[in-house]
Amino acid sequence: MTRRLLIAGNWKMHGSVEMTTDLISGIARAALETATLSEQRELAYDILVCPPSVYIPAAVKAADSQPIRVGAQNAHAKSQGAYTGEVALEMLSELGCDYVLLGHSERREIFSETDDEVASKFAACCENGSMVPVLCVGETLAQRQQGQTETIVAAQIDAVLDKVGIAGFSKAVIAYEPVWAIGTGETATPEQAQAVHAFIRAKLAELDADVANALRILYGGSMKAENAADLLGQPDIDGGLIGGASLKVESFAAICDAAHVLALS
């Protein structure tokens, strides 16, 4: 099965209204220019940007009529209530979000989100049905060194399976992000990343091969222009969740160009 590549930018806590507008318009222009040069009228892959929540309206406006989708970086599991500072899925959907990141390693580590809390958000997203959940999973350096990578990743996925079953992954995305390769400049080798992606797909295939084969699994550990082609060329890597390299048109567009070449090959 051929899965359509997804190149997603996680802007984290960066940006301004001006940056949001300029970055999205620049990414769209660069991507369409590359497509035009290869005589493609439409992109053969998908682009997603996830700005801070306060800039989502500006992002949606800038992305209007462009081949770019907008997502949120987080959401609360409840639809409303006394949760000061939180944002509900319904609110994000109303603003025009199509995707939402759930369980990013920084949410798990800095804000102490548990596997169960992340799973509850995923379940709420499935129930709401208006956005695609992007479940982030991954291990720390200590866990990898202790040979626990598969155990940790499996536990994070099992927490979600316990709440929504395999059917919950039929309209979802998984992002494998080795914590030790986020913002450190370190990157899993294509072979290391592929091994974990293959493990994730095989695990889900035991429950439903069709869902597993259709599921897009992104790599989220310091993907950049220099390594994008090698990573995206792996059979079970279906795109990237890009951090720092998503904050500049040139670096993000270069990753998109790598996806474009692979999508047409």
Whether 191 is catalytic is no
List the CATH code of the domain at 6-264: 3.20.20.70
Beta bridge partners of 8: 48, 241
Whether residue 1 has pLDDT greater than 70 = no
* Residue burial 3-41, b: 16+ Cβ < 10 Å; e: rest: eebbbbbbbbebbeeeebbebbebbbebbbebbeeeeee
Average pLDDT score over residue span 14-25: 98
Indicate the pLDDT class of residue 91, thresholds 50, 70 and 90. very high
Assign 180 a pLDDT band (cuts: 50, 70, 90).
Answer: confident
The three-class DSSP label of residue 165 is coil
Q: What is the pLDDT of residues 134-155, one digit of tens each?
A: 999 999 988 998 999 999 999 9
pTM as predicted = 0.96
**Of 104, 106, 113, 197, catalytic:** 104
pLDDT at 38: 81
Q: Which residue has the tokens 């406006």?
A: 61
78-90: per-residue pLDDT in tens?
999 999 999 999 9
Q: Does the annotation mark 177 as catalytic? A: yes
In angstroms, the CA 167 to CA 126 distance is 10
Which residue in the list 76, 106, 177, 260 is annotated as catalytic? 177
Confidence of residue 187 (pLDDT cuts 50, 70, 90): confident
In angstroms, rounded to a whole number, what is the distance separating the alpha carbons of residues 49 and 250?
15
